[in-house]
Amino acid sequence: MKTTTITLAILLITSLGFSQGFHIGAKAGANFANQKGDEDQFLKGRTAFHLGAIGEIMFTDALGLQIELLYNQLGAKYEERYDEDFYEGIDESTIKDDYLSLPVMAKYYIVKGLSLEAGPQISYLLSSKQEGTIVENGHSEDYSYDLKKENYRKSLNIGLGIGASYKLDFGLFFSMRYVAGLSNINEDTITETYGEFEYTEKLNKRKNNAFQVSIGYFFN
């Protein structure tokens, strides 16, 4: 699926390259990511980043299409506190979901340089890890889970982006975008084996969301 995503992006950008009004460039910036789902009370925001290539084609002076291929870091912070009869403690960790993302944004220029954008984003999961520390009654223990390898995460993530961008005459641009997750990133269930027995667990639903702030440059 990762190869298909890359191939699709290259074919789209290459085909657009033969069109009049085509611009190619690069962008990078910060992701203010979070996850929403059945465990909202334990989840907080994570700051990460994105970077990649972009292509823009203009159909008219005001209406165009922007296609991107991004390395995209998402995820969240997890914090759960325990305060029971025999022990107290805290579980703190960082959830790191790294994707190869393909946003396809329709763009409309309100005035020269200033555009609004909206469209779907398809992402392929590259890696997913949860790393943290549990402290109970003064005893500390570090842990690390590979959520992709252990089949907790789905490979595909679908989102919807909406934002705005301002482009200067010489190609430098600044943009802001919010990408709302539409699909559940967790598998529905996971099955674990203990000796001769199998145990199937239903997983909580979660969606990846991010507010992105970017800076980029069009080379032509």
* Chain segment 87-107, per-residue pLDDT in tens: 678 889 999 999 999 999 999
CATH code at position 53:
2.40.160.20
Please give the model's pTM, rounded to 2 decimal places. Answer: 0.84
User: Contact, 54 vs 26, CB < 8 A?
Assistant: yes
10-residue block means of pLDDT along the chain (220 residues)? Answer: 57 53 93 89 93 94 94 94 74 94 96 96 96 85 90 94 96 97 89 70 88 95
| C-alpha to C-alpha distance for 2 and 123, rounded to whole angstroms | 9
> Which residue carries 């667990």 as its tokens?
201
Q: Quote the domain boundaries for residue 189.
A: 2-218
- Give the count of domains, the chain: 1
- The Cα–Cα gap between 37 and 39 comes to 6
Token pair of 171 as six digits:
């190609």
pLDDT tens by residue, 33-66 = 999 988 778 899 999 999 999 999 999 989 999 9
145 neighbors 96 (Cβ within 8 angstroms)? no
